[in-house]
């Protein structure tokens, strides 16, 4: 099981807890606002279709989805968000990518830099680590609901996915960026329930870390995730098999 998957899994468990606090709702709504800037009709806007699917996966109410679209298209106020990606390194030379959606760039850069510095990381120039990642479609399925690897693999490949990764408690269905919506819609059409469906930054090569380094990295990514402007945090850490951030 690769470290990326484990990391994604821990994030997913944490996401379930965050949803109770509304943070996840805010994130998916912001993604809809940004996507809707390119047009409010999902039929002609693949990114908006993806954003709406991600929102439905975490049960964002329909009226909030529609409100976010109106903000993005400028019909309602509150859509003045910019996307900014920050890059840097954490403990052990692990690459970290921080995706943000903000209405105040100065505040966001100060907050992100502060977290990097506080937890022993360094903020890099734009492009300093992103070449180590690919943007792929990632659809996460619950293993309890879909226990049979072969049937998941067949279902995913038939829908046009490239690969299925075993992520412990979940399956991670991966697609090329351009195939993401087609695959998602094909699975949706078969009634497949998804824990998460999003375009994600997936590391090309993983950097093995020990438990102590993993704990330090988790502190930095956790603090990043807590920032209001942060949408996603990605790393290329290969975590130890028995890593438990709560330990």
In this predicted model, what pLDDT tens digit does every residue of 96-105 receive, in sequence order?
Answer: 999 999 999 9
Torsional class of 241: left (φ above 0), alpha (ψ -120 to 50), beta (otherwise): alpha
Q: Is 3-73 in CATH node 1.10.1740.10?
A: no
Mean pLDDT across the chain: 91
Return the pLDDT at 173: 96
Domain boundaries, the chain: 3-73
Tokens of 65: 């989805």
Return the pLDDT at 4: 60
In this predicted model, what pLDDT tens digit does every residue of 51-98 receive, in sequence order?
Answer: 998 898 888 999 999 999 999 999 999 999 999 999 999 998 999 999
**pLDDT band for position 244 (cuts 50, 70, 90):** confident
**pLDDT band for position 1 (cuts 50, 70, 90):** very low
How many Cβ atoms from other residues are within 10 Å of residue 139's Cβ? 27
pTM: 0.89
Strand ranges across the sheet with 95-102: 122-123, 82-89, 95-102, 230-235
- CA separation (Å) from 136 to 33, 125, 162? 21, 23, 10
């Amino acid at each position: 099981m690769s470290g990326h998957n484990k990391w994604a899994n821990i994030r997913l468990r944490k996401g379930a807890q965050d949803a109770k606090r509304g943070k996840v709702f805010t994130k998916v709504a912001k993604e809809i606002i940004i996507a809707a800037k390119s047009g409010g009709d999902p039929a002609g806007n693949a990114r908006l279709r993806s954003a709406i699917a991600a929102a439905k996966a975490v049960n964002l109410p329909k009226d909030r989805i529609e409100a976010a679209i109106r903000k993005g298209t400028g019909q309602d106020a509150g859509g003045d968000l910019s996307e900014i990606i920050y890059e840097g390194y954490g403990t052990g030379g692990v690459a970290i990518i921080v995706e943000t959606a903000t209405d105040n760039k100065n505040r966001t850069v100060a907050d992100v830099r502060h977290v990097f510095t506080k937890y022993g990381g360094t903020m890099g120039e734009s492009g300093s680590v992103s070449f180590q990642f690919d943007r792929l479609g990632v659809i996460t399925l619950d293993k309890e609901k879909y226990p049979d690897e072969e049937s998941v693999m067949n279902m995913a490949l038939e829908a046009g996915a490239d690969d299925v990764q075993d992520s412990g408690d979940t399956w991670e269905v991966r697609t090329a960026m351009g195939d993401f919506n087609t695959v998602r819609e094909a699975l949706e059409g078969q009634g497949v329930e998804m824990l998460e469906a999003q375009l994600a930054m997936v590391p090309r090569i993983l950097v093995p870390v020990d438990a102590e380094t993993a704990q330090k990295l988790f502190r930095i990514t956790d603090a990043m995730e807590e920032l209001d402007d942060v949408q996603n945090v990605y790393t290329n850490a290969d975590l130890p098999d028995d890593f438990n951030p709560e330990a």
